[in-house]
Amino acid sequence: MKKYLLPSVKMTAVMLVLCCGIYFGIVTVIGKMSPGGGDGETIKVNGKVVGYEKLGQQFTKDRYFWGRPSAVNYNASGSGGSNKGPSNPDYLALVQERIDSFLVHNPAITKEQIPAELVTASGSGLDPHISPAAALIQVDRVARIRKLDKNKVEDLVNNHIETNPIGPDLVHVLKLNIALDALK
Amino acid sequence: MNKELLGVVLIYGLTILLAILLGRSIARWLRGEKSIWNLMAPLERLVYRICGINPEEEMTWKQHLKALLTINLVWFVYSFVLLISQGSLFLNPDGNPSQTPDLAFNTAISFLVNCNLQHYSGESGLTYLTQIFVIAFLQFVTAATGIAALFVLFRALRDKVTDKLGNFWVFFTQSITRILLPLSLVVAVLLLFNGTPSSWKGKDSIVTLQGDSVSVSRGPAAGMIAIKQLGTNGGGYFGVNSSHPLENPNYFTNAVETVSILLIPIALVFAFGYYLKRPKLSRVIFSVMTLGFLLILSTSIWSELNGNPELEKLGLQQPTGSMEGKEVRFGPAASVLWGIATTATSNGSVNSMHDSHTPLSGAMQILDMMINAFYGGVGVGFLNFFIFLIIAVFISGLMVGRTPEFLGRKIEAREMKIAALIALLHPFIILVGTALSSYILVYYPEANWAVQPAAWLNNPGAHGFSEMLYEYSSAAANNGSGFEGLGDNNIFWNVSTGFVLILGRYLPIIGPLAIAGLLAQKKYIPETAGTLRSDSYTFGIMTFAVIVIIAALAFFPALTLGPLAEYFSIR
């Protein structure tokens, strides 16, 4: 063993320089050239930062489109899923509660219309998206509260659908809500 | 066809294509032929000169193991010291505390064995210093250790009698300079331009559109995510790993990361055949692995796309499948592909919460880790498969009444004993660990630990048992993912999984290398018409049967108590 100790220590030092120092140095420099300068892209409204492009945020007020339930309430200092198993009775009661509450706030729709992601927590707790169906069933509520034309709100949602030929179609909740605030 | 399934097919197909190309290129350089990698030679010579290494010096298998274990010991001491003192060191903009000794023991061991069992959350449990100089460092060097060990095996199986099997330091250095560093750089750049941060600024505070004040954790994540995937380590920068939108911002990055998980393990299978000039042998091995992988994958996809039956009973529609613990931007199909890829390759990164998968999908993930040889981790996956090959050769030899031979060398009692021990070790440490934790949970629920046993499980009933079974399977396979509901940051789990990790890493490296070293010194017997050909598909089926029998016999009862019981109770 002794014969290999000195080369081991030296090799460790060399690899620290190569894999940590030089590699991360290069990545950081290239990061400066990427959108957001490597610090994360932000979204601004009237020059004020209201969120990070990639991170979801909590919407509880009726006048906004809602995102998914989150195990960390969308506080991005941490992250987390519920880690509830599919047969857990407490979990099933919680989902039932979310369904009931959603129906109270959205009287125009029925239980069968709610897509599952609106009453289940995401893996990260920071999911910024919902499916187009999940946005469309909230149109009635949002239009009513804001006293807007329903068709106009529906068009807005349709304009915010990001299609993907090999994956799920998405609606970015924060961007949709910012556009909604701008709607007259 | 459902477009999400199309996505899965495309990602998987692309992976295999790239892996064949990479495997061919690795074989070329190992054979000493001219290749693009020669560009790295000056850098490598510099490394050897600084370290005082003679790259021409060839080692026996025992010398290889001594070098491997010595440098691993150095890394352990270094990492442990940094983790227990990180709170008072530099590069700690968020003011995170040092780790407790038992947590630091677990973390250091975990990453030392190229696993990523994380009993902490990255945002609060590490500093920028330890994220880079401990975690990412180990992600590079331990992956290179696995690849270097596999190269020793490659050398040993050449058709000449020798005890000289190349130089460990050379294999190790080249794995980093020629595979891991260049590929990581490519992946990191792709991630950066899709929104993954490489920030040194610490947390940001913002007021959301609705008016809530929240903080946002950031950090030098992009570089680390690239190597965590390519080196099949899987340790995430953020707590929820690659389901975090900053680690994995969109469908494209998800595809890139999925390819990165599978790329090197599959490439090494092809490299083996090209190197030995037996490409058909590689194709047979690849087919056996792929058959197992696809059976497991399709079961899991079927289960997830059907959704959670309990939610259906509440009257809920699940048009896209089970969504609990998954991200909308990936959808269930791509999440399942990732879940199966990450458990097959002992990677351990996740893009959905495995704890919330439907029972059969969870069962497939656990089974993947129990078998641990369908592709497997970089280097070590193939070493595990090699053990199954040896057993299959031996059993087939007995069936046809011939002395078992593999690639022109006799397999005798000594090699067989080693192979049998290694094959049995894996079920032994998983099942004993799970039994021990179940016993403590039942008889000592009030034990005075940071998390009392009574509070370990996040879910009742069969699913709770699955959480413990998953944890030990993950530790033994050096996988690192978890049913994360488990309350595992306490002395029992930190120490017990720590030992399982060590056993699950080093013995499966030492065993195959010993067999290879012994075989290399035996007389080479040219193949004749009477030889059992290991590159035939008949032999492939035999190997598959051996794997199924060993995994099914050893693990079926445990799977019945956990995920299968849950499946039948909610069907």
**3-class DSSP state for residue A85?**
coil
Q: Is A52 in CB contact (< 8 Å) with chain B?
A: yes
Residue B455's contacts (CB-CB under 8 Å, 6 or more residues apart) are: B487
Distance CA B300, CA B523 (A): 46
Write the DSSP assignment of B157-185 as a string of letters. TSSS--S----HHHHHHHIIIIIIHHHHH
In terms of domains, do A35 and A79 share one? no
**B330:A80 CB<8 A:** no
Q: Which residues of B touch A26 (CB under 8 A)?
A: 185
Q: Mean pLDDT over residues A80-93, rounded?
A: 94
Q: How far apart are CA B287 and CA B28, in angstroms?
A: 22
Provide the domain count of chain A: 2
- Can you state the angle between helices B279-305 and B331-344, rounded to 10 degrees? 140
Q: How far is B141 from chain A (nearest CA, A)?
A: 8
For residue B450, pLDDT beyond 90: no
Contact B327 A24 (CB under 8 A): no
Rounded percentage of chain B residues whose pLDDT exceeds 90: 79
Residue A165 has a pLDDT of 93
| Gyration radius of chain B over CA positions | 23
Residue B276: pLDDT over 90: yes
- What pLDDT was estimated at residue A1? 66
Residue B427 pLDDT grade (very low, low, confident, very high; cuts 50, 70, 90): very high
Average pLDDT in chain B: 93
Q: Would you call B406 helix, strand, or coil by DSSP?
A: strand
How distant is the Cα of A58 from the closest Cα of chain B, in angstroms?
8
- With contact defined as beta carbons under 8 Å apart, do B94 and B56 qualify? no
Q: Which residues of chain A are within 8 Å of residue B334 when distances are taken between CB atoms?
A: 167
A17 lies in the same domain as A55: no
How many residues in total does chain A contain?
A: 184
Q: What is the ipTM of this complex?
A: 0.95
Per residue in B107-163, pLDDT (tens digit) is: 999 999 998 888 888 888 999 999 999 999 999 999 999 999 999 999 999 877 888
User: Do A27 and A92 share a domain, yes or no?
Assistant: no
A70 in the same domain as A7: no
A173 interface with B at CB cutoff 8 Å? no
Answer yes or no: do A23 and A45 share one domain.
Answer: no
B window 180-199, beta carbon within 8 A of A: 181, 184-185, 188-189, 192-193, 195, 197-199
- Partner-chain residue, chosen from B184, B218, B458, that has the shortest CB–CB distance to A39: B218
Q: Let me know if B55 is exposed, middle or buried by CB neighbors in 10 A (0-12, 13-18, 19+).
A: middle
Instruction: Provide the number of CB pairs (under 8 Å) joining chain A to chain B.
Output: 356
- DSSP assignment of B94-142 equals T-PPPPPHHHHHHHHHHHHTT----SS-HHHH--HHHIIIIIIHHHHHH
Contacts of B209 (CB under 8 A, 6+ apart): A45, A50, A51, A57, A59, A64, A174, A177, A178, A181
pLDDT digits (tens, 9 = 90+) for B47-105: 999 999 999 999 999 999 999 999 999 999 999 999 999 999 989 888 899 999 999 99
What is the 3 state secondary structure string of B435-502?
HHHHHHHHHCCCCCCCCCHHHCCCCCHHHHHHHHHHHHHHHHCCCCCCCCCCCCCCHHHHHHHHHHHH
B24: number of Cβ within 10 Å: 17
Helices B537-559 & B359-371 angle (0-180, nearest 10): 120
pLDDT category of residue A183 using cuts at 50, 70 and 90: confident
The 10s digit of each residue's pLDDT in B405-420 is: 898 899 999 999 999 9
- pLDDT for the residue B534: 86
- Measured between beta carbons, which residues in chain A are less than 8 angstroms from residue B331? 167-168
Q: Is the domain of A46 the same as that of A136? A: yes
The whole model's pTM is what?
0.95
**CA dist list (Å): A133 to A113, A159, A171, A177, B314:** 9, 13, 9, 16, 19
A161 vs A135: CA distance, rounded Å: 9
Q: What is the tens place of the pLDDT at every residue in B462-521?
A: 999 999 999 999 999 999 888 888 988 889 999 999 999 999 999 999 999 999 999 999
Nearest CA in chain A to B8: A166
| B290-309 residues touching A, CB cutoff 8 A | 307-309
Is the Cβ of B164 closer than 8 Å to some Cβ of chain A?
Answer: no
- Residues of B247-268 as b/e, b for ≥16 C-beta within 10 angstroms? bbbbbebbbbbbbbbbbbbbbb
Contact criterion met (CB below 8 Å) for A137 and A25: no
Residue among B50, B187, B209 with most chain A CBs within 10 A, to mutate: B209
- Whether residue A57 and residue B185 make contact (CB cut-off 8 A), yes or no, is no
List, in order, residues 6 or more apart from A93 with CB less than 8 Å away.
none
Q: Does A84 touch chain B (CB under 8 A)?
A: yes
Same domain, A142 and A173: yes
Domain region containing A26:
1-39
**How, if at all, do strands A161-162 and B213-216 pair?**
unpaired
Per-residue pLDDT, B301:
95
DSSP state of B357: S
Mean pLDDT on B174-188: 96
Same-domain status, A169 and A89:
yes
CB contact under 8 A, B66 and A1: yes
Residue B529 has pLDDT above 80, yes or no: no
Write out pLDDT tens, residues B341-389.
999 998 999 999 999 999 999 999 999 999 999 999 888 999 999 999 9
Among B residues 265-294, those touching chain A with beta carbons less than 8 Å apart: none
Residue B172 Cα, gap to closest chain A Cα (Å): 10
Q: State mean pLDDT over B197-218.
A: 91
**Pair (A84, A5) in one structural domain:** no
Chain A contacts of B238, Cβ < 8 Å? 79, 124
Helix (H), strand (E) at residue B378: none
CA distances to A21, A142, B22, B189, B320 from B198, in Å? 14, 38, 28, 10, 33
A82 closest CB neighbour out of B69, B223, B324 = B324
Shared domain check, A58 and A34: no
Percentage of chain B lying above the pLDDT 70 cut = 100
